Structure 1
Amino acid sequence: MPPLPRLSGVHPILYAYYQPDGRLDRAALERQVDLCLAAGCQGIAVLGLVTEVFRPSTAERLDIVAWAAARIAGRVPLMATVAEVSVHGQLDFIAEAKARGADWVVLQPPPVKGVAESEILRFLGTVADRAVLPVGIQNNPLMMDVSVSDSALLALHRNHPNIRFMKAEGAAVSVAAFALEASRSCDVFAGHGGLEWPTALRSGCQGLIPAPELVDAQVAIWRLWSAGETERAEALHRAILPIIVFMSRSLPLLLAYGKRLMALRMGLDPVHPRLPEPAVSAFGLEEIGRFAALLGPLADQPAPLSPALRRLAGMA
C-alpha cells in the first residue's frame, strides 16, 4: 500500500443509540459526527467497545460504517473495528467496510480464551497481510478477555507492514516503553477514555481514541499541548478527570452513563435501550446530570473552548 499520512490527535469513537423499537438510530449517529467535527476532532471511529461492537448484527455494523462515512464526507479519516471471529469473516467485512467509506480498520485479539499468543499473532498477521485497508491493532488487557504482550505487538508490527497504528490501552507507565519503541515507525494511540491523556502524550503516544462525551475538552487539551501550553492542557485535564474516572471503572459503567452524558450534551432525550441494557441508578443519573450541567452542551459550530469548560478548568 502507498505511504499514508501519520495519524494523531483525538479520534472519538461513537456510541450506538437506538430507536424505541430497538433499531439503530441513524440521526443520533449523524448528530454525534456533526458535534465531533465541530469540536475539531482529527478523526472518527466506530464499532469498538464504545459502539458495543458485538451487539449489532454484521449488516447493522456495515450500516454504521456507511452512515458515518456519508456524514463525514471525507473531512477526517474514519476507523472501523472488525468483530468477526474468523480470518475470512474479517477479510470480507474489511472489503465491505472499504466499499462503504472506511479509511482504516482496527483489529482486536479474537475473543477466544485459551489460545496461545503465537496463534493470536498469526491470526492478526494473516488478516493484516490480506486486508484491503491499512490496519490498526487494539490491545486492552483491562477490558478485553484476550490480549497480548507489548513485545508481541512490536513483533507483529515489524513482521506485518500493513499494521500502521496501535491502540495500546493500559497504565501509562506500562505503555511508555512500548510507545517509545513503536512510535518510531507507527502511530500509537491511548485509550481508557483519556484517563491519562497528558501522561500518554509524554510517554510517546500521538493520539487518543476516547468515547465522545468529552470530545471538546480532549481536543482542546490536544491543541494546547501541541502549542506548547502544557500547563493549561494539564489544568483542563484535571478539571474533567473526575468525570472520566466516574465512567472508566468498567465497560458497563461507560455504556450506561457515558452514553447518557453524551445524549444530554447533544440534546438527545430519552435514551432508548436495546435489551439487555446495563442498569442505571437514580444516583448515577443525578451525577450524569450534574456533569452535563458543568460541561454545557456540545457546540454545533467550531468555537474556542467554551465558557463552561473555561470555568471548569479555572481559566475564566
Structure 2
Amino acid sequence: MWPVLYAYFDANNTLDRQAIHAQIDATIDAGASGIVILGLATEVNRLTLEEKQRFIEWTGEHIGGRVPFAVTITGDTADAQLALADHAVDHGASSLILQPPSVRDKPESFYFDFFADVMQRVRVPVGIQNAPEYLGVGLTVQSLVALTAQCGQFQWLKGEGPATIIHSTIERLREHGSSLPVFNGRGGQELIDNLRAGCAGLIVAPDSFDWQAAIYSAFMEDDQANAQAHYERILPSIVFVMQSLDALTCYGKRIAAWRMGFDVAHDRGMRPTAFGLSCARRFAAALGPFADQRNTDR
C-alpha cells in the first residue's frame, strides 16, 4: 500500500512544507510500503514546474531513505518528462510513474512510442498510469505486453478502474505470458476485491490510508473478517471523497489534514460548501485520529 500525497497550500498560496512532512511521517508510521507524489491527488495540474521540483526535493529529503518513493511524471514531450524524471532520481526517487501527454486526439501508437522513448532513457524502473477514465487515453493489453518486451525499465502498471476490469486486465496479461504487477487506485473503492483480483497493491490518497493499510495487512494474513469489517467502516468516507477529483482534492485533503492535526489554509481548486464541510467533519470523526491501525480489531 502506497499513499499518494496531497498538495497543501498556506495562506499565501505557496506549498506547505510541514504538511508534506506530516503526511510522510503519518503514513510511514501507519505501514506505507512507499510514498507516491505528483499524482492526481497532488493536484499536479495546478502546480508549476518549480513547485513540482520543490515537492520532489522536500519529499526526498524528509523520507531520508526510510521507504522508497515514486514520482508521477507529466509533460507533453519526452524531453520534458525526462528532465523531470532526472530531477526526481537526483533527489532520491526509486521509481517513476509516467502519465501520457495531454494531447488526446492521437492513435494508440503515438502514446506507445511516447512511453517507449521516455522509458529507454530513464535511470530507474518505471510504471505507467493507464487510466482512460481519468486521463482520456490508455494502452491495450497487447500494447502493454509489447512495451514490457521492448523496455526493460517498464516494471509495473498503475490502473484506474473497477475490480472486474482490473481482473480482466491481469488475466489477459497472464494469458500473454506477462507477470507485470498491477496496482489500482480509485481511493480504495473495492479494495478487497482488487486484492482478490490479483492486484499487487493499491496507491491511494492519505485520508483513510491508515485503515486501508490495516485492511491490506489483514487480507494478507487471511483475516477476511477483520479486513471486511474495516472496509465497511471506511467505505462511506471513500464514496464521499471519490465523487470526483475536485471532491477528492477539496474534501479528501481536509479529512486527511484534520485526522493528522492540521487544517487547510487555501484551495487552488474547488472550495468547500458549509454542507460539504459538515459531511467531511463527520467522516473524519468516524475514521478517528490518524494512526497505525494494523493491530486494531473490528
**What TM-score, normalized by structure 2, do the two folds share?**
0.94
Q: Which residue number corresponds to residue 85 of structure 1?
A: 76
Question: How far does the alpha carbon of each residue in 1:49-91 deviate from its partner, in whole angstroms, 9 at most, with x for none?
Answer: 0001121111211111111111111111100011111011111
Q: Which residue of 1 aligns with 2:270?
A: 278
Identity %: 39
Give me the whole-angstrom Cα distance separating, in 1, the residues matched to 2:173 and 2:252.
30
Residue 288 of structure 1 and its aligned partner are, at CA, apart by: 0.6
Q: How far, CA to CA, are the matches of 2:173 and 2:37 in structure 1? A: 24
The answer as to 2:287 corresponding to 1:295 is yes
Partner of 1:236: 230
Note if 1:116 corresponds to 2:107.
Answer: yes
Q: For structure 1, list consecutive stretches of 5 or more residues without a partner in the other structure.
A: 1-9
- Which of the residues 85, 93, 96 maps onto 1:102? 93
Counterpart of 1:33?
24
Cα distance, 1:224–1:104 mapped onto 2, change above 3 Å: same
Normalising by structure 1, what TM-score?
0.89
Relative to structure 1, the CA distance from residue 235 to residue 174 in structure 2 (aligned partners, 3 Å threshold; closer, same or farther) is same
How far is the alpha carbon of 1:305 from its aligned partner? Answer: 4.1
Q: Does 1:199 align with 2:193?
A: yes
Summarize the Cα distance change of 1:234–1:155 in structure 2 as closer, same or farther, 3 Å threshold: farther
Q: Which residue of 2 is the match for residue 46 of structure 1? A: 37
Q: Which amino acid aligns with 1:28?
A: A
Secondary structure of the residue aligned to 2:156 is strand
* Equivalent residues of 2:8, 2:264 under 8 A apart: no
**Structure 2 segments unaligned to the other structure (5+ residues):** none
| 1:164-179 equivalence runs, <5 A | 164-179=155-170
Of 240, 244, 260, the match for 1:246: 240
* Alignment partner of 1:13 out of 4, 7, 20: 4
Q: CA deviation at 1:156?
A: 2.0
CA apart distance, 1:304: 4.5
AA at the equivalent of 1:32: Q
Give the distance between the partners of 1:220 and 1:116, measured in 2 at CA. 41
Deviation of residue 92 (structure 1)?
1.3
CA contact (8 A) 2:96 2:124 kept: yes
Give the direction of change, closer, same or farther, for the CA distance of 1:303–1:147 in structure 2 (3 Å limit).
closer
C-alpha change, 1:236 and 1:220, in structure 2 (3 Å) is same
Matches within 5 A, 1:205-244: 205-244=199-238
Deviation at 1:172, TM superposition (A): 1.1
Name the amino acid aligned to 1:85: D
1:72 aligns with 2:63: yes
Secondary structure at the residue paired with 2:195? helix
